[in-house]
């Protein structure tokens, strides 16, 4: 790109290298969790060099913005590797940015290395996906009100929030199980944690699905049984093995995510516990694999891509003058498949 022309952007690199803007950003930021070939990495770096691309943190703010071509960043957890739900949110952000003259300039993951304030300089706004400490982030990022929190409700009150209606969904799942005669219902979920971006410390958090499960069970005079561990199939598997070993097998299990449900179904199958004849299983997310499990998984459809798109729209409104913080709750949908049936006696 010749001197005097517009400054090269990640979008320019992506188009010339024939990859997504997200891939370019993660390669340029040396994201170790990204799975691409060495050939792709070399091609992206070569194009970036040819276009004389300069990272956002090395540009002056007045050089970055051309009219309303805003430069934003995404910060998310490494959970994408285990839960496609988080990936769907990010993809929702990516697919709509161009419609609002927004360039996704930087992508950062939390979990391996701390984020430094220098990496946020020059960004017009941030979209933060998952349980990341917003108050901690605001100590690093000067545009405090230009942060959109997705999939969490932080303690700070001056930012926009996008969440799925997991509280309502959990209540609906339990009420449906009650209608089918289930009263012995176990909740299996991942341990809630909020991650600091500056020092990688974590703080405990009670997941809204667990909180609602306990509330609804108590309202109905029923005993709560909660098992929590690692998110993902491995966590679901080991927690279900604990449940089986305890000899207190319920008639239904509510699982906090579909990837965990994969492990739950595997452990039940290995121990000759039939789903749904012996134990019904209801989960959350409705990832693509849910419809192809054996049995096909009943689950709560969460519209992750719409959450990502909504976050971009809210950020655009903020960048154009709205000062009142907003919270948007995206509805969910119960998807009934083969893993749920009428209650039978406990195994």
pLDDT tens digits, the chain, 347 residues: what are they? 433 345 577 778 888 888 876 677 667 766 555 677 888 888 988 888 888 876 544 343 334 444 468 999 999 887 666 678 998 999 999 999 988 989 998 888 887 778 888 888 889 999 999 999 999 998 888 888 899 999 999 988 889 999 999 999 999 999 999 999 999 999 999 999 999 988 878 899 999 999 999 999 999 999 999 999 999 999 999 999 999 999 989 999 999 999 999 999 999 999 999 999 999 999 999 999 999 999 999 999 999 999 999 999 999 999 999 999 999 999 999 999 999 999 975 44
Instruction: Please give the pLDDT value at position 5.
Output: 45
Establish if 208 belongs to a structural domain.
yes
Rg for the chain, CA atoms, rounded: 22
Residue 116 domain flag: no
C-beta separation of 304 from 85 below 8 A = yes
Cis-peptide into 187, omega within 30 deg: no
Q: Is residue 82 part of a domain?
A: no
| Position 253 in a domain | yes
Alpha-carbon gap, residue 305 to 182, rounded angstroms? 33
pTM of the complete model: 0.79
Task: Report the Cα 304 to chain-centroid distance in Å.
Answer: 8
Question: Under a CB-based contact definition with an 8 Å cutoff, are residues 71 and 105 in contact?
Answer: yes
325 within some domain: no
Please choose, from the candidates 132, 196, 136, 192, the residue with its C-alpha nearest in 3D space to the C-alpha of residue 161: 132
End-to-end CA distance of the chain: 69
Distance between alpha carbon 329 and the CA centroid of its chain, in Å? 15
Residue 299 lies in a domain: yes
Question: What is residue 36's predicted lDDT score, i.e. its pLDDT?
Answer: 78
In angstroms, the CA 104 to CA 19 distance is: 14
Q: DSSP per residue over 64-118, as a string? A: H--TT-EEEEEEEEGGGGT-HHHHHHHHHHHHHGGGGTEEEEEEEEESSSPPPGG
DSSP states along 145-169 = GGEEEES---S-SSSEEEEE-HHHH
E-strand stretches of 152-257: 160-164, 185-190, 192-195, 202-205, 225-229, 252-255
State how far the Cα of 133 lies from the Cα of 177, in Å rounded to an integer.
Answer: 35
What does each C-alpha distance from 185 to 160, 253, 300 come to in angstroms? 35, 6, 17
Q: Which of 17, 36, 54 is the C-terminal boundary of a domain? A: 54
Helix (H, G, I), strand (E, B) or coil at 244: helix
3-state secondary structure of 55: coil
Over the range 55-81, which residues count as b (16 or more CB within 10 Å of their CB) and which as e?
bbeebeeeebeeeeebbbbbbbbbbbe
Say how far apart CA 334 and CA 323 lie, in whole Å: 35
At 78, is the secondary structure helix, strand, or coil? helix
Would you state the pLDDT for residue 156?
87
Would 243 be classed as within a structural domain? yes
Q: Residue 199: what pLDDT?
A: 83
- Contact of 180 with 174, CB cutoff 8 Å: no
Domain shared by 171 and 298, yes or no: yes
Residue 238: inside a domain = yes
State the total domains in the chain.
2
* Residue 14, domain extent: 1-54
Q: Domain of 41: which CATH number?
A: 1.10.260.40
């Amino acid at each position: 790109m010749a001197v005097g022309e517009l400054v090269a952007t990640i979008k320019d690199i992506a188009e010339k290298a024939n990859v997504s803007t997200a891939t370019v950003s993660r390669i340029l930021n040396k994201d170790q969790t990204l799975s691409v070939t060495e050939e792709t990495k070399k091609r992206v770096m070569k194009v970036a060099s040819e276009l004389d691309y300069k990272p956002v943190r090395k540009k002056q703010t007045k050089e970055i913005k051309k009219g309303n071509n805003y430069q934003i960043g995404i910060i998310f957890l490494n959970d994408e590797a285990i839960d496609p739900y988080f990936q769907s949110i990010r993809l929702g952000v990516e697919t709509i940015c161009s419609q609002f003259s927004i360039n996704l300039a930087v992508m950062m993951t939390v979990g391996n290395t701390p984020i430094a304030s220098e990496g946020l300089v020059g960004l017009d706004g941030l979209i933060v996906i998952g349980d990341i400490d917003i108050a901690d982030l605001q100590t690093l990022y000067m545009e405090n009100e230009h942060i959109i929190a997705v999939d969490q409700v932080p303690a700070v009150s001056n930012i926009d929030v996008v969440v799925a209606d997991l509280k309502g969904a959990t209540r609906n799942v339990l009420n449906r199980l009650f209608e089918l005669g289930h009263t012995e219902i176990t909740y299996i979920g991942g341990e809630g944690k909020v991650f600091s971006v500056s020092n990688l410390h974590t703080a405990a958090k009670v997941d809204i699905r667990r909180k609602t499960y306990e509330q609804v069970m108590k309202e109905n005079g029923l005993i709560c049984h909660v098992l929590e561990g690692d998110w993902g199939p491995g966590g679901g598997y080991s927690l279900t093995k604990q449940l089986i070993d305890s000899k207190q097998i319920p008639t239904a299990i509510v699982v906090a995510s579909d990837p965990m449900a994969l492990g739950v179904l595997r452990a039940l199958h290995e121990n000759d516990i039939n789903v749904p004849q012996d134990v019904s299983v209801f989960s959350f997310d409705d990832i693509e694999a849910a419809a192809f499990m054996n049995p096909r998984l009943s689950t709560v459809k969460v519209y992750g891509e719409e959450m990502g798109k909504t976050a971009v729209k809210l950020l655009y409104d903020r960048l154009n003058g709205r000062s009142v913080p907003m919270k948007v709750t995206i509805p969910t949908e119960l998807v009934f498949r083969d893993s749920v049936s009428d209650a039978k006696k406990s195994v």
